[in-house]
Every structure is written in structure tokens, then in C-alpha cells.
């Protein structure tokens, strides 16, 4: 069994717990609201803006045996540049205050997830960052394009409000294929264990981000408000 297959198998329950969060299940049923979507984009901005710095930190901390990852990390850094600005543009297209988001603070769940990523790289094992890659990009591939359609239609939002979800959903398919090839080359058992552990924690932390978002009000209650 390849390490990638082991990684998916040993994190399957954690992934299902994330996908089972009320706001994700509600979105898949078409239960959406503009405040919920803007809240999602806000928290996305506050973790996506750390993607490139985290990749650079991961690269800088690689031990000698994993220096072969420098090239793939450089490619990833190049591809991830500017994605935080996509999110701010989406917020503007939704009528939200993008500059307030840019200069604001993340919610506690997002702040903890980002802090755990930096801590894992600096204190435990830089390869643990690939656990975050699995969680964020794997979730994006399975949900982003579907969620964009479910949100856009009932809210009547323009295509310009979905550059992050739609572009990331498509781009992350390529990243996940590349990720699988990279994981096939991770042979050290300590590295493998650290990636699996980090992925399980990131599934929990990313689930907490979704649990922190405001749920859409039931339509009946909204009509009475």
C-alpha cells in the first residue's frame, strides 16, 4: 500500500467529521446566506494569505534528506501567489468591505489553525505541513465547485464573486495529483507518521473554522425578521 493510500485511509474518519459540519451539509442542501458566504471568505483570506509564507518556512526548514522537495515547493509557491487577493475581490463583488477584512483579525479557529501550521514546521517536522495541504486542497477539490454553484444561484451573485472557489477547485485537482506523486516518495516512517498526525489535527482545526461560521437563518424565520 502506497503512503498516499495509507494517509487517506488513516484520516478518513477525520475527513468525514469535517464534511459533516452543519454549515457544509446545509450548503449542499442549498441552505445559504450572504453573511455566511462573506464570513467564509473572510476566514479563507486570513489563512490563505499565510500559504506562501508557510511554504517558504517549510522549504527553509527541510532537513538534508528532504532537500529534494525544494523544487516542488518552489513551483507551489509560484502558483499560490496572489490567491489572497482573489478572495478580497470576491468579497468586494459580494458587496462586502474587503479593506476591513484585509486589516482585520481572523476568528480564533482560523488563528489557531495557522498557528498550528507554523508550530508544526518550526517545532515538529516541516513535512507536517503536507497534512495541511491534504486537508485544504482535498476539501477544495471535493466541495469548492459544487459549493460555488449551490451558493451563487439562490443568492443571485455574479461570477466575479466566485473566483476563489472556482479557480481553486480546478487548480487543486492538479495539485492533488502532484501531491499524490510527492507522497509516494516519502519513505521515512517518522515523516509519514508526522504527516498523518498533522493531517488529522488540520481536519479538526479546519472543521472548527467551519463550525465558527454563522449558519444561514431558516427562510421562515428570516421572513419574520
Of 103, 119, 113, 137, the C-alpha closest to 212 is: 113
Of 171, 179, 169, the C-alpha closest to 4 is: 179
Range 56-71 average pLDDT: 97
Of 196, 161, 188, the C-alpha closest to 44 is: 161
Length of the chain: 225
Tell me whether residue 177 is in a domain: yes
Tell me whether residue 89 is in a domain: yes
Range of the domain at 199: 3-215
Tell me whether residue 80 is in a domain: yes
Tell me whether residue 52 is in a domain: yes
What is the distance between the alpha carbons of residues 157 and 161, in angstroms, rounded to a whole number? 7
- Indicate which CATH number applies to the domain containing 114: 1.20.910.10
Tell me whether residue 122 is in a domain: yes
Tens of pLDDT along 5-35?
A: 999 999 999 999 999 999 999 998 999 999 9
Task: Indicate the pTM of the whole model.
Answer: 0.92
Tell me whether residue 221 is in a domain: no
Tell me whether residue 53 is in a domain: yes
Tens of pLDDT along 173-221?
A: 667 778 999 999 999 999 999 999 999 999 999 999 999 999 997 653 3
Number of domains into which the chain is organized: 1
The confidence score (pLDDT) of residue 223 equals: 40
Tell me whether residue 128 is in a domain: yes
Tens of pLDDT along 121-150?
A: 999 999 999 999 999 988 776 688 788 989
Give buried/exposed letters for 59-93 (b at 16+ CB in 10 A, else e): beebeeebeebeeebeebbebbeebbbbbbbbbeb
Amino acid at each position: 500500500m502506497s503512503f498516499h493510500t495509507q494517509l487517506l485511509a488513516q484520516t478518513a474518519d477525520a475527513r468525514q467529521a469535517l464534511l459533516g459540519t452543519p454549515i457544509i451539509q446545509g450548503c449542499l442542501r442549498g441552505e445559504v446566506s450572504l453573511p455566511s458566504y462573506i464570513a467564509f471568505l473572510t476566514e479563507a483570506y486570513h489563512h490563505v494569505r499565510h500559504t506562501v509564507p508557510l511554504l517558504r518556512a517549510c522549504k527553509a526548514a527541510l532537513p538534508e534528506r528532504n532537500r529534494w522537495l525544494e523544487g516542488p515547493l518552489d513551483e507551489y509557491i509560484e502558483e499560490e501567489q496572489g490567491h489572497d487577493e482573489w478572495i478580497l475581490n470576491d468579497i468586494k463583488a459580494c458587496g462586502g468591505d474587503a479593506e476591513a477584512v484585509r486589516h482585520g483579525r481572523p476568528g480564533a479557529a482560523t488563528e489557531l489553525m495557522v498557528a498550528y501550521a507554523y508550530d508544526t514546521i518550526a517545532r515538529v517536522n516541516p513535512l507536517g505541513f503536507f497534512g495541511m495541504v491534504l486537508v485544504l486542497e482535498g476539501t477544495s477539490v471535493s466541495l469548492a465547485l459544487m459549493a460555488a454553484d449551490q451558493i451563487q444561484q439562490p443568492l443571485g451573485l455574479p461570477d466575479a464573486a466566485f473566483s476563489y472557489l472556482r479557480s481553486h477547485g480546478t487548480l487543486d485537482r492538479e495539485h492533488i495529483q502532484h501531491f499524490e506523486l510527492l507522497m509516494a516518495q516519502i519513505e521515512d516512517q517518522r515523516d509519514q507518521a508526522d504527516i498523518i498526525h498533522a493531517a488529522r489535527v488540520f481536519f479538526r482545526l479546519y472543521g472548527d473554522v467551519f463550525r465558527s461560521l454563522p449558519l444561514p437563518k431558516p427562510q421562515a424565520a428570516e421572513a419574520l425578521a
